Amino acid sequence: VVVEPDADRALLAEPTLRRLEALGVPHMIFVNKIDQARGSISGLLQALQPMSAAPLIARWIPIREGEAVKGFVDIALERAYYYRPGQESELKEIPAELAERGATERQTMLETLADHDDALLEALLMDEIPDSKTIYADLAAETGQGQIVPVLFGMASNGSGVRRLMKALRHEVPDASAAAERLGATGGSALIFKVSHGGTMGRMSFARAFGAPLKEGGELNSEKAGSMRIGSLFAVQGDKTAKIPEARPGDIVAIAKLDEVRAGEWLAAGKPPPAPEVPEPVRNAALAISTKDRKDDVRLSTALHRLTEEDAGLEWEQDEAMHETRLRGVNDEHLNVALERLRRRYGVAVDSRAPSVGYKESIRKQVTQRGRHKKQSGGHGQFGDVVIEVGPRGRGEGFAFDEKIHGGSVPKQYIPAVEAGVKDAMHKGPLGFPVVDVGVTLVDGSYHSVDSSELAFRTAGRIGMADALAAATPHLLEPVQKVTVTAPNSASSKVTSAIASRRGQMLGMAPREGWSGWDRIEAFIPEAEMHGFDAELRSMSQGLATYEAEFDHLAELNGKLADEVVQRELEPA
């Protein structure tokens, strides 16, 4: 887990650390950009420790010259390493001013390890100094069992500390067989974690191999796609690939010609193990997109299909009601990157805007209305005549249709056509939006033995309903979302102000259970006010606050805002 050195931003790591802990995945922490640290490593560990049930162990302590970090002391090895950008760190004697601190930190580390090793505890009580082999064995065992979380640091930008990190990952973490056992993977198997399109390689599935080696042409089973043969195997480093004869357990490889698999799936020689529990991405951002050139519409559909295959955080849909293509993502920046990939990789330039808001309309009073359709143009004419009672229903109760015809004034075979006509009129009410929460009762009418038909009565029903809606005092409804914000409590007051500025209604605020220093804030916010909320939240919380939103109810919208919405909808395009 890579974290920043600023203790104030340590909260950013909490969701990841808690998720790994819940899944039982052993892990280390690497503090990057150590040269930019404003505080001490011990202060950072104090900020991080409440997020982890297992104790955090500082493996290294920094060697500073003024504000600059020049290297580190490995307290397990009792050696000092000085950074040499782009090269392996230089081994030197521990600086005299750090000798005492190094000894203290080492004793703390050994005492923590001894909590799970009786032999080590006994040695410490006897003032015996354990050898490095014992220390490294304990570090590896307790890291693998999730009993400790080692903390290392460096500067990835120039490679400082990265080589030592790689050695720690090679020697002090469980190997692929332990991971396979934890995941229930037996025999030759591969966990697909990414799918990619592009370049000369075509569709590639990136996977980690477990169990027995994987070889080109071997047969694997997928729970969803069935049996399939392994295509060519490639080792991948950055944008470079090299074909390899086999993938050994633990290897990360790209596999060609697995057209049916998706990220998150297992492929196995026998029965695939259960897929890992991956939480569904929370897609809070959305854009309505359209091609700049209509000739690119088909290419856009293909490109969106590939983009969403590659990135599970993206989702697209064709909203038939709003007549727009919507692209959803985790946040605004995520969508901006996706649009750039559309342009750069697939040559599809698009226009984007905020998605249309799903306004609805309903009525306030009950009316009785006649709908009559009569047309004579030679031969058989058209005749349908209905009387309907139309009234409001409770919010969320939807549409209801009933009939109280006596004496056959409207033949029974035409009543379904009347209902269909009523629904036709509800697609677009007098304010320009779909109509909801109304009840309609067919009470009377008349027919012609020759000219009446289903089409005529459907038309009569539509005419009657349209006139009734206009007379029944229509009003606008806007969708309201229930929004749950998770934020550090230092930003909570700003969050509540942001909610209020968006016509939001606070529902409550309380400490987030089990999370020190976090609040959970619930509110109702109109959908029309949600655009840009994610960026505002991140800006006021140093990127830490997150939120989830879902449709909750429709609320009446009146006054100037309602007038502006209706005017925009009814004015000519």
- When the pLDDT of each residue in the chain is averaged and rounded to a whole number, the result is 88
- Output the pLDDT for position 554: 95
| C-alpha span between 246 and 66 (Å, rounded) | 50
**Token digits for 339?**
């649009």
Query: Three-state DSSP class for 126?
Result: coil
Phi, psi of 388, rounded to the nearest 5 degrees: -125, 145
Cβ count within 10 A of residue 373:
21
| C-alpha span between 83 and 70 (Å, rounded) | 6
Q: Tens digit of pLDDT for each residue in 152-193?
A: 888 888 788 888 888 888 888 887 777 777 777 777 788 888
Q: Which residue has the higher pLDDT, 140 or 505?
A: 505
* Secondary structure tally for the chain: helices H, strands E: 14, 31
Task: Give 245's contacts (C-beta < 8 A, 6+ positions apart).
Answer: 215, 216, 233
Give the H/E segment covering residue 100: helix 96-114
- Output the pLDDT for position 275: 64
Q: Which residue has the higher pLDDT, 147 or 514?
A: 147
pLDDT at 380 over 80: no
- Output the pLDDT for position 40: 78
Residue 428 pLDDT class (50, 70, 90 cuts): very high
Cα torsion angle, 567, 569, 572, 573, sign: positive
Q: Tens digit of pLDDT for each residue in 255-314?
A: 887 777 787 777 877 776 666 666 778 888 899 999 988 888 888 998 898 888 888 889
> How many C-alpha atoms does 561 have within 13 Å on its Cβ side?
12
Looking at the structure, give the CATH architecture of the domain made up of residues 285-353: 2-Layer Sandwich (3.30)
- Residues 469, 363 contacting (CB under 8 angstroms): yes
The domain covering 2-174 belongs, at the CATH homologous superfamily level, to P-loop containing nucleotide triphosphate hydrolases (3.40.50.300)
| C-alpha span between 322 and 332 (Å, rounded) | 21
- Residues 37, 5 contacting (CB under 8 angstroms): yes
Domain covering 179-268 in this structure, CATH number: 2.40.30.10
DSSP character at residue 49: G
| Percent residues over pLDDT 70 in the chain | 97
Domain covering 361-472 in this structure, CATH number: 3.30.230.10
Domain covering 477-563 in this structure, CATH number: 3.30.70.240
Q: Where are the domains of the chain?
A: 2-174, 179-268, 285-353, 361-472, 477-563
- Output the pLDDT for position 454: 95
Give the H/E segment covering residue 339: helix 332-346
Length of the chain, in residues:
573
- Output the pLDDT for position 131: 84
| Percent residues over pLDDT 90 in the chain | 38
- Residues 480, 510 contacting (CB under 8 angstroms): no
- Output the pLDDT for position 404: 95
Domains 285-353 and 477-563 share a fold: yes
pLDDT at 201 over 70: no
Write the DSSP string, 253-291. Answer: EEEES-TT--TT-EEESSSPPPPP--PPP---EEEEEEE
pLDDT at 378 over 70: no
Q: What does each C-alpha distance from 63 to 35, 85, 92 come to in angstroms?
A: 11, 15, 12
Q: Tens digit of pLDDT for each residue in 48-68?
A: 888 888 999 888 888 888 778
| C-alpha span between 113 and 315 (Å, rounded) | 46
**Token digits for 353?**
């805007």
- Output the pLDDT for position 245: 85
**Position 408, amino acid:** G
| C-alpha span between 5 and 47 (Å, rounded) | 11
Q: What is the mean pLDDT of residues 89-112?
A: 88
| C-alpha span between 544 and 546 (Å, rounded) | 7
Q: What is the mean pLDDT of residues 226-231?
A: 78
Phi, psi of 95, rounded to the nearest 5 degrees: -55, 140
pTM for the complete prediction? 0.76
**Token digits for 350?**
């698009």
Smallest CA-to-CA distance from 146 within 256, 54, 50 is with 54
- Output the pLDDT for position 390: 97
- Output the pLDDT for position 444: 95
**Token digits for 271?**
């029965």
Q: Tens digit of pLDDT for each residue in 312-368?
A: 889 999 988 888 999 999 888 899 999 998 888 888 889 999 999 999 999 999 999
Packing angle of the helix pair 454-471, 415-426 (nearest 10 deg): 40
- Output the pLDDT for position 379: 67
The most confident of 2-6, 245-249, 456-460, by mean pLDDT: 456-460
- Output the pLDDT for position 435: 97
- Output the pLDDT for position 377: 73
Q: Which residue has the higher pLDDT, 84 or 421?
A: 421
Q: What is the mean pLDDT of residues 24-30?
A: 89
With vertex at residue 401, the alpha carbon angle to CA 400 and CA 403, rounded to the nearest 5 degrees, is 150
| C-alpha span between 428 and 465 (Å, rounded) | 11
